[in-house]
Amino acid sequence: MTGSATIVLDIGKTNVKLALIDADGRTLAEQRSPNAIVAGGLYPHHDTERIWNWMLGAMRGFAQMAQVGAIVPVTHGATAALVDDEGLVLPVLDYEFELPPSQDAAYRALRPAYASSHSPLLPAGLNLGRQLAWQAHAWPEQFARARHILMYPQYWAWRLCGVAASEVTSLGCHTDLWQPARQQYSALVERLGWSGLFPPMQPAWAPLGMLKAELVAQTGLPADCKVVCGIHDSNASLLRHLQGGPRTVLSTGTWVIAAAIGMPLDGLREEADMLANSNALGEPVACMRFMGGREFGELAGPTPALCTADDLQRLIAQGTMALPCFAAAGGPFGGRAGEIAGPAPQTAQERYALATLYCVLMSDYCLSALGAAEGEVVVEGSYTGNPHFAPLLAALRPAQNVVCSDDASGTTCGAWMLAHWGNAAARHGEDGAAAARDGSAPSAAQPLALAGWAEYRARWLAAL
């Protein structure tokens, strides 16, 4: 049996993953499940009990494979849990739920200025502060019972070990609750009297406590298995890139988030859905994003088929292009209906090609808007599985080195680093973490030289 392994609970907006990682950072086992939303009840909400029971079952299997020393929760942002000593007082709201517009004016008057929060006004429940304000208004009795407001990673940590904590990366993720530049709560928290509901702040890597005794009995995991505070998923991807000079990380999944490490915040614009996240060290990071995974799926169709360079070249030559946007949630072109200009794609491969071209152009647009013209561009996450994405992006940005992470799930690597925080590999960024996993390093993308690609980008930008 392998010793000193880590279990990573990775809850993305689309899927939930449980990974077993050994002491050297290698994946021993992995289980996945869809992250289904429950449509009934008070409002659309996350099926936390189904996730919980599925997770405990998977952990029982993992306990037979390795000696587990730590569990690290990693989740998507814009999500919080209201709990008393027994559990949830209200269901965990789905941030894609369109909150009642009758509350819009009142919330706009309460929310902090963009200059202090660097959190743009977003649709649906993407501003967590708006979710909480609506819940407090609509269900005042339940809200009054809440002892803690827990960010989503810390909710799972609390269920596992019983210790409540707050953590900066989820608080600083376009919530309206945090001031990234000043590293303190926003005026909204004080205005609504919520200061006492947020538990003490802990670093993402802090061990909060040991796994509850009843869960030790249910799962077979060791009694001394520690539960780590946890982190927002895009910031988990960012962890191994925090040192080494200016660079921009493209964290790709349901959302594509361009995080420009070291860039000033004064160029951010609210109307373009630009924001400042907080990294695990509490430092503000200039970011821009779009719902790239969702949009890729809309364009590629229900049965995506990998395209060839010839498919890409054919669409470029005939002027077929996708104009934003193909998801309802945020992004620099939020609220605009997507359309396909030029001859429509005819095959599954051409649809995949169009989705690829679109997501490359959107990523390039975000990088340029951020002013990220220097240093490496590191592609993390699901787009590393698309062999054309990084080479096409590299062809558009010849002054920069575009590299593909060797880890298709930067969140898993980041979570592993948190469990090992304090040793050399986990503290010294990408080189140490990559070496600890498999001795490899991110690979530089070779530009894909397609005829007319730069001109195609120019026509796409003009069409915007």
Tokens of 55: 């997770």
Closest of 384, 386, 376, 389 to residue 430, by C-alpha: 376
Report yes or no: 214 and 162 within 8 Å, Cβ to Cβ: no
456 vs 232, 293, 300, 345, 446, CA distance in Å?
Answer: 36, 22, 19, 16, 19
Q: CA separation (Å) from 389 to 336, 361, 386? A: 24, 10, 6
Give the integer Cα–Cα distance in Å for 71 and 17.
13
Mind listing the pLDDT tens digit for each residue in 189-236?
Answer: 999 999 999 999 999 999 999 999 999 999 999 999 999 999 999 899
In this chain, the answer to whether the domains covering 2-229 and 235-405+442-463 adopt an identical fold is yes
Neighbouring-strand partners of residue 247: 261, 376
Convert the pLDDT of each residue in 338-360 to its tens digit. 999 999 999 999 999 999 999 99
Per-residue pLDDT tens over the stretch 13-64: 989 999 999 999 999 999 999 999 999 899 999 999 999 999 999 999 999 9
pTM value? 0.88
CATH of domain 2-229: 3.30.420.40
The predicted structure's pLDDT at residue 433: 42
pLDDT at 435 over 50: no
pLDDT band at 434 (very low <50, low <70, confident <90, very high): very low
**Tokens describing residue 464:** 């915007």
Quote the CA–CA distance of 412 and 415 in Å, as a whole number.
5
Measured N-to-C along each axis, helices 389-396 and 348-370 cross at an angle, to the nearest 10 degrees, of 40
Is 443 or 377 the better-scoring residue by pLDDT?
A: 377
| DSSP letter, residue 442 | P
Domain assignments of the chain as residue spans, ordered by start:
2-229, 235-405+442-463
Residue 280 has pLDDT above 70, yes or no: yes
Say if residues 116 and 178 touch (Cβ distance below 8 Å): no
- Contacts (Cβ under 8 Å, ≥6 apart) of 117: 111, 176, 177, 178, 179, 180, 186
Residue found under tokens 């960010």? 151
Residues 225 and 264 sit within 8 Å (Cβ to Cβ): no
Q: What is the DSSP letter of 19?
A: E
- Please state the CATH superfamily assignment of the domain spanning residues 235-405+442-463 in this structure: ATPase, nucleotide binding domain (3.30.420.40)
Cα 380 to Cα 246, 275, 374, 390: the distances in Å are 16, 19, 18, 10
Residue 442: its pLDDT value, please?
A: 66
pLDDT category at 240 given cuts 50, 70, 90 is confident
